Structure 1
C-alpha cells in the first residue's frame, strides 16, 4: 500500500531520531538532559565557555538526510512598538527542516512540501520534490563523525541568523504605515551585528519531542526612526532574544481535512501532481488541532488528548479572570460538537516556558502605545495539523476602551461595579478578545458579517452596543456573553466531521465574510463591516448618530476623575466625536453593494445579487446626514474646556489621539468637523464603490446612478455655506471629489463624472457673491489650480487612530496569521 508523502516523512524522522549512545561531558562541555525518566529528542551538549551548542544527528540516509523536523521561531523579548509588531510572543514562519550531509559538511535545508504527489509512488514523489526549489539556509563543518555514523555539529551560528525577519520589520518603508516617504516612523539601514549576537548555551532545554533554545540578536543602524528612538535607550542598537523550536514530526494518524470556502478558516495549500485529470491539482487543507475521540463511533466521547491553552502568569487581576473566562467559552462549542472535556484554559504552570512548543499560550504584553492583538499558529506545513497556538494580547487596549466608556457615561461610574462601570465593561471586552484570538489559533477566520445576525460569532470585531436610557448613553448590553451560534457550527465543521447536509444548513443559516471582502472600507459585500453593529447597517447608523448627539451634549468635566488633568478631555472627546466612524463604513457598503457568497456549484447560492435600489438610496441619505452642519457643530460651552493646557513629559499615546489644534492647546472645532467630513466623504467616494454604481446602473436604470449620488452630495454641502462651519464641510467635500477624480484607480467613467460635477460647482459658485465662493470657483475652473486643490485634499487633515494603530494596515499580513483588534 502506498503511503502519503507526509506519512513517509514522519516515519523516516521517527526512525532516524531513535536514541543513540549517550554523550559524555568533556571539560566545559556538558550534556543537556531531558526531564527525569524521559529521552531527549536530539542529544545535545552545551559548551558554555565557547558558546557552542552541539547536536548529535543520526546516521544520514542515502540522500544525506540525517533528520527531518519542524522548525519555528518566536520572540522572547519584544521592542514594545505597536506599529512594528515585534512583540514578545510573535512567531515566525514554520518550516520543514532537513539536516542534510553534503561531503564534509552538514546543511540546513528548508524543504518544499507544498508541491507533492501525495498518492504517487516513491519515485514520483522524489521527482516532484526535484522539480521545485528548496532553500539551503546554513552550512557548517562536521565536528565529529561517530563510529555508528552519527554526526556532531555546532548549530550556534544557525541560531543567530535573522530567521524571524527582524531586519525587515525595523526597516519597513513609510508606505507600509500609510505614510509619506518623509515620515520618520520607519527606520533605515538596520542590519544584524554578528559581533553583538550569539547563541545562549544556558538556554537549551530538551524534551522527548522538542528542543528549545535562545539566541541574542542585535541590530544596528544610524537612522533608527521614531518608533525605535521613542523606546530603546540607545536607538542605534536594538537587541532581542529570539527563541528557536525544533519539533519532532507528528506521528502518523492525523487525517487532513479539505478546506471548505463556504465556512473558511486558515489553511495550508497543496499542489498535488498525483491528482487525476478530473481533479484539481491545487487545493487547501484546513488547519486544525488533532482531536480524537476515545470512542470514535460515539456521538459524545472524551478525547485522547484535550486542547489546553495556558494564560501568561504576568496577566494581572482582574484581567486574568476575565481572559480565562472568555477564552474558555470555546469549551461549550466543543461540547456541542460531541467532545467531552476536550478544551480548557488554565494558568501556565509556575516555571514553565511560554515559548516551549508544548504549551498553547495566551501572552499578555505591554507596548508603548496601543495596538492589535493577534492569534498565530505553528502548523505542520505538510498536513495543516496545528502544533501550537500563540496569542498576543496588548495591555493598552483595555485602557483605551476605558477612556471611551468614561467619555460616554462619565468617570463617576468607575469602581461602582455596575453595568456602566467602565472597568467592568472593559473586562467584558477582554472576555470577547480572549475568545476571539484563541479562535484564530484553533483554526477559525474572521466572520465580519456575524454582527448583523444577532452577534453570531466572537470572530467578528464587536463595537460596544450603546443604548439610550432616559436620553443618556447606556452600556449595560455593551458586549455579548459567551460563544456564538456561528462558532458552534464551525467547530462542528472543523473538528466534529460535519456531513454535507450539516455544512449546507450552516451556509443557509449564516452570512459569512472574511478579511479580503470586508477589511477595506471600499469592499462590496453589504454585510461585511468591522466594528459595526445591528441587523441593518443603515438603521444602526441613524440610531448611532442619536447616541452620538446625546453623548456630545452630555460631555464635560464629568468624563474626568477628581484631580485628573482637564487636558485629558481633549483626548477623551475624540472617540465620542467620531463614534459613528465605523458604522458609516458599514452603511456605505450598501451603496454599490453586491451580495455574494463563497459559493460552490450546486450549493444553491451561486449568483451575486446587487443591493436593492431602495436600500442604496437609504444608505446614501444616512451618510449625507453625518455631514450636516448640525451634526458637525461642537457645543460652544465645550470649547473652553477642550483648550486646557497639558504639562509634563510628552506622552506619545496622547499626542496621536487628539485633533490638531489652532496653536498651543487651543481646540479648533473646524478641524473636528473637517476630520469627520473627510471620513464620511472619502468612504462614500472610494473609486471602486463609484465604479460599482456605474456598472449597476448600466444593467438596471432604476438603481442609484453616479450622477444622482454626486448631485445629492453637492446639494447637501452647498446648501449650508452661510458660516465657516458649512464652508469647511463644503470645501473638504469638493476637494475630496477633486482628489478622487485624479486617482489612478478611478475608472474613466468615474473621473469624467467627477470632473463634470466639479466644473458645474465652479460655475455655480462663480455666480455667487463672497470671497469664499469666488475663490473656490477660480480653483475649480482652472486646471492647474484644481490639481493643486486635489493635492491638498490628498494630504487631508490628520485623523486620530480609531482601530488600535490607525486607518491603514501597519502589519505585514504575510508574516502574521491574522490582523486583529
Structure 2
C-alpha cells in the first residue's frame, strides 16, 4: 500500500525530472562476445573469451624495460551477496581498491599490489628507491605467458587470478562466526557472459562457491544449503586517472573523511611525516578564471533500477539536494542524480551507483567510494541502501500516530514521513560517497545544519497532540554547504590551502562544531555536543519534549497501531521503539555529565582549549535522567500489557524475533524485562567508567562541579529504599534497583576505574547496602533489599555470586539497523 501511495504522490515529480544520462555512450555496450573461435576485443587491454573452456585470456602491451606490462586501479566487489547483515558480503559491496601492476618476469606474468602508504614525495630516485625497498609489496598471483605477439604484446590466461578469494570472503565468514569456509574451485567459474570491455575499464565476474563441513546455524536462514554458499564477485580494472588532479590536504576542521594516509619520509623537518589526504571527485570548471562556471564533467549518481519506482523518486529527490550546494560553491549544473540507464550493470565502474540492497533483516546503509590511493581522487562513488529501512520507519510512525493515518497525505501520514526519511537517507549516504564525514554535532544547531548527522524525526508534543510539521528538513544544511565549498570550491587567483583554512576558521567563528564517529559511538564519550539521533539546541529541554511524545504515544497505544488484519502479536515489535522512544535523547543528556567540549582544532584557530560543561547544566542533565528511572516512566497500562501477550503461531520471523523485548515469563509479555531494558539505556551511559573517572577529575579542578559521589548518591536515592510505593510501582523500582546493584558489583570488579573512582564506587556500594538494610515494605520488597544488601557489602565471592545470579544486562533490542544504536 505504501509504495502504491507514494507512486501516486510523486507522479508529477517523476514527470518533472526529465533528465537524460550524460554518459551517452551510456548505456553499456553488450557484453564481450564469446564464440567457438574466440577473438580478441580491444579496450583498456585486450580480452579474449573462451566459452567452451570458461577461460579468460588478456593481452597486455609490450613490456617496459623493467618488465612492467600495465598499471591499473583494481577494485573487487560483489554482484550477488549473502543477504545477511553484519557480515560485509552484500550486493554492491566493495573490497579494497589497490593499484595493481602486471610484470613480465621470464616466461611468467606476475601481479602485485603496490604499497602506496609509504613514500618519498618530490624526492630524487635514490630516496624513492630506499622507501620502496623498506616496505613490502604484495605479489598475489602469477600465470604462464601463453603467447607473445610480433609487437611484443604478452598474453596470459587470467582465469585463476579471477578465481581468487578477492573479497576475503573466507575471513569474513570466520569473523562473523559463520564457520570455517574454504573456496571450492570445482564449484566456481568465470561467468563469461558478464564480461564488459571498455576503453577505460574492463569488468569480469566470477561465480564463487565457499564450502564448510560445520557452517554456522544462522546461514540456514539465508541459503538453501549452508554448507555451500555461492557469491558473484565483480572484478573492475580501471585506467589510472590522468595527471593534473590536485590532492587536498586534510584539515581536521573540514568535515571531510580522510581515508588516504601518507607517510612521507622526504618531508622537511618542519612538516609532519604522517599526513592525510581528503577524498574528492575531480571537478573542473570549463572556465577556470570564473567564480561561477559550468564543468567539464558533472558528478552524476545513478539510482539502481532494482529500487521500486516510488522509492527511486525519493532517492533522486534527496540525493539531488547536493546540486544546490555545488551551485553555491560556484559550479553550475555540476551534480545530478538520475535513474541508471536500462541495461547497465550496477557494478560497471563507469557509474556512480546508489544500490538498493536486500538483506534478511534491516541493516546499515553505506556510502563509500573507489579512490586513487595515491591522491585521494574519487574514481567512483558507491552507495548501498538497505531496502527494509523504509518499512521500519513506517512502522515507527504507525506506532506514534496509528496505522489508520497511513495514506491520508497529512503531516502525520506514516507513508509520507517514511518517504521524507528516504530522501534524507539518500542525501546522507551520497554525502559520504562525495568525501564528506558524519557530523554528529549538527543537530544541536538551528535548522539542523547537516544531513550528515543521523536525523531523528523531530516530533513536537503540543498538549496531547503530536506535531510532525518539522519532522525532517528539506535540502542539505548550512554545514553541508560549507563542506562542499571547502572540499570542491575554488577562488581564482587565491591560494587554495589558504582559502580552505580561512573557510574553516569562518565556520568555527559562526559557532559550528564538527564531531565524528570516534567521539560519538562509545558509551563513555564525554563530548556534550556529539550524539546520534538527537534533536534540539538544549538536550535537556528536548528530553522533556521526547518524554512527552512518548507519554502521548503510549497513552493511546493499542490495536489502532496495527494495520487491519495484521497479527496482534506484531504489537510486540511496534511497542519497542515507542517504549524506548527516549533512548537516543537519553544518551545526548548523559553526555552532559562529566562533559568536555573539545574540538578538532589547529594551532591558532582559537578553539584549542577544551571546556567543561557548566555545573548547572550537568545537574539539570542528572535530574532529567532520574525521571527516566521512575516507576511511572517504566510502567505500562494493564490493558496494553494484556494486548502485548498475544502470540504468533508457525515459523518464527527473524526480522521480528530479534527486535522484541526478551522476557522471563514464557510466552506472555514481560513488563519487567521491558523496564530493565529502559533502565539499561540510562545506566550504560551514565555509569560508563570513562565518565566516572572524569567526574573525579572535574571536581578536583573545580569543587563546585558535579562529582562522582553526588551522582552515585543521586542514583541510590532514586532506586533505593525510599518512600513506600504501591505494589505495582514497587516492583518496577526493584527492577531499576537490581540493575544498579549489578552495575556497582561489576564496577567494583573493573580495572578501568582510577583508584579514587574505585574507592568512591565501593563506598557508595557500602552506603547503598546500608540503605537497603533499612528498607520497609512487603515481603517482596524486604527480601530483595536483604539479598542485594548482603551481596554488595560482602566478600569478593558474594559480589561474584551477585553478578552471576542477577540477570546480565537486559538486552536492549537493536536500534542501529541491527547490532548498534538506531532504529531511525
**TM-score of the pair, normalised by structure 2:** 0.91
1:726 aligns with 2:760: no
Q: Bigger CA drift: 41-50 or 232-241? A: 41-50
Counterpart of 2:739 in 1: which secondary structure? helix
Tell me the distance in 2 between the aligned counterparts of 1:474 and 1:84.
Answer: 39
User: Who is 2:408 aligned against?
Assistant: 416
Structure 1 segment 188-199 matched on structure 2, within 5 A: 188-199=179-190
User: Who is 1:178 aligned against?
Assistant: none
Contact kept? 1:144, 1:151, Cα under 8 Å = yes
Tell me the distance in 2 between the aligned counterparts of 1:627 and 1:26.
Answer: 69
Counterpart of 2:622 in 1: which secondary structure? helix
Residue 659 (structure 1) shift: 1.1
Contact kept? 1:646, 1:665, Cα under 8 Å = no
Pair 763,244 (structure 1): closer, same or farther in 2 beyond 3 Å? same
Counterpart of 1:31 in 2: which secondary structure? coil
1:225 aligns with 2:216: yes
**Equivalent of 1:528, from 518, 527, 530?**
530
Pair 539,29 (structure 1): closer, same or farther in 2 beyond 3 Å? farther
1:508 aligns with 2:509: yes
Unpaired stretches in structure 1, ≥5 consecutive residues = 1-23, 34-38, 174-185, 810-819
Q: Bigger CA drift: 129-138 or 240-249? A: 129-138
Residue 371 (structure 1) shift: 0.5
User: Who is 1:298 aligned against?
Assistant: 290
1:187 aligns with 2:181: no
Counterpart of 2:38 in 1: which secondary structure? strand
String of CA shifts for 1:451-486, please: whole Å, max 9, x gaps: 001210000001111112441323232111111000
Tell me the distance in 2 between the aligned counterparts of 1:607 and 1:25.
Answer: 64
User: Who is 2:14 aligned against?
Assistant: none
Tell me the distance in 2 between the aligned counterparts of 1:793 and 1:370.
Answer: 32
User: Who is 2:820 aligned against?
Assistant: 807
Tell me the distance in 2 between the aligned counterparts of 1:661 and 1:578.
Answer: 16
Residue 29 (structure 1) shift: 4.6
1:744 aligns with 2:768: no
Residue 334 (structure 1) shift: 0.1
Pair 442,794 (structure 1): closer, same or farther in 2 beyond 3 Å? farther
String of CA shifts for 1:577-617, please: whole Å, max 9, x gaps: 00000111111111111111111111111111111111111
1:172 aligns with 2:189: no
Residue 409 (structure 1) shift: 0.4
User: Who is 1:812 aligned against?
Assistant: none
Tell me the distance in 2 between the aligned counterparts of 1:356 and 1:553.
Answer: 52
Tell me the distance in 2 between the aligned counterparts of 1:712 and 1:575.
Answer: 28
Residue 71 (structure 1) shift: 0.3
Counterpart of 2:338 in 1: which secondary structure? strand
User: Who is 2:783 aligned against?
Assistant: 771
1:785 aligns with 2:777: no
Structure 1 segment 675-714 matched on structure 2, within 5 A: 675-714=677-716
**Equivalent of 1:118, from 118, 121, 125?**
121
Counterpart of 1:280 in 2: which secondary structure? coil
Tell me the distance in 2 between the aligned counterparts of 1:697 and 1:678.
Answer: 26
Contact kept? 2:460, 2:545, Cα under 8 Å = no
User: Who is 1:673 aligned against?
Assistant: 675
**Equivalent of 1:205, from 184, 196, 205?**
196
Contact kept? 1:60, 1:100, Cα under 8 Å = yes
Contact kept? 2:424, 2:451, Cα under 8 Å = yes
1:215 aligns with 2:222: no
Tell me the distance in 1 between the aligned counterparts of 2:485 and 2:678.
Answer: 43
Residue 794 (structure 1) shift: 7.5
Tell me the distance in 1 between the aligned counterparts of 2:616 and 2:701.
Answer: 16
Counterpart of 2:453 in 1: which secondary structure? coil
Residue 507 (structure 1) shift: 2.4
String of CA shifts for 1:241-299, please: whole Å, max 9, x gaps: 00000011111111111111111322211111222222222111111000000111111
Counterpart of 1:129 in 2: which secondary structure? helix
1:237 aligns with 2:228: yes
1:659 aligns with 2:658: no
Q: CA RMSD in A?
A: 1.8
User: Who is 2:137 aligned against?
Assistant: 134
String of CA shifts for 1:90-128, please: whole Å, max 9, x gaps: 001000100012222111100012211221133332332
Counterpart of 2:420 in 1: which secondary structure? helix
Counterpart of 1:657 in 2: which secondary structure? coil
User: Who is 2:352 aligned against?
Assistant: 360
Tell me the distance in 2 between the aligned counterparts of 1:721 and 1:76.
Answer: 63
Counterpart of 1:711 in 2: which secondary structure? helix
Contact kept? 1:472, 1:551, Cα under 8 Å = no
Counterpart of 1:352 in 2: which secondary structure? coil
1:517 aligns with 2:529: no
Tell me the distance in 2 between the aligned counterparts of 1:758 and 1:26.
Answer: 76
String of CA shifts for 1:626-677, please: whole Å, max 9, x gaps: 0011111111221111111212321111111111234443111111111101
Tell me the distance in 1 between the aligned counterparts of 2:349 and 2:407.
Answer: 39
Contact kept? 1:389, 1:442, Cα under 8 Å = yes
**Equivalent of 1:163, from 145, 161, 166?**
166
**Equivalent of 1:548, from 547, 550, 553?**
550
User: Who is 1:496 aligned against?
Assistant: 489
Contact kept? 2:741, 2:788, Cα under 8 Å = no
User: Who is 2:38 aligned against?
Assistant: 30
Residue 221 (structure 1) shift: 1.3
String of CA shifts for 1:75-96, please: whole Å, max 9, x gaps: 0001111122311100010001
**Equivalent of 1:593, from 592, 595, 599?**
595
Contact kept? 2:33, 2:49, Cα under 8 Å = no
Unpaired stretches in structure 2, ≥5 consecutive residues = 1-31, 491-498, 777-781
Pair 591,470 (structure 1): closer, same or farther in 2 beyond 3 Å? closer
Residue 791 (structure 1) shift: 4.1
Structure 1 segment 240-319 matched on structure 2, within 5 A: 240-267=231-258, 268-319=260-311
Tell me the distance in 2 between the aligned counterparts of 1:804 and 1:419.
Answer: 25
Residue 792 (structure 1) shift: 5.0
Contact kept? 1:738, 1:790, Cα under 8 Å = yes
1:468 aligns with 2:476: no
User: Who is 1:796 aligned against?
Assistant: 809
Tell me the distance in 1 between the aligned counterparts of 2:501 and 2:229.
Answer: 53
Residue 682 (structure 1) shift: 1.7
User: Who is 1:102 aligned against?
Assistant: 105
Residue 767 (structure 1) shift: 3.6
**Equivalent of 2:581, from 579, 582, 599?**
579
**TM-score of the pair, normalised by structure 1:** 0.91
Q: Bigger CA drift: 266-275 or 228-237? A: 266-275
Residue 621 (structure 1) shift: 1.0
Residue 501 (structure 1) shift: 2.4
Contact kept? 1:210, 1:357, Cα under 8 Å = yes
Structure 1 segment 636-647 matched on structure 2, within 5 A: 636-647=638-649
Tell me the distance in 1 between the aligned counterparts of 2:332 and 2:414.
Answer: 36
Tell me the distance in 2 between the aligned counterparts of 1:673 and 1:721.
Answer: 19
Pair 629,761 (structure 1): closer, same or farther in 2 beyond 3 Å? same
User: Who is 1:624 aligned against?
Assistant: 626
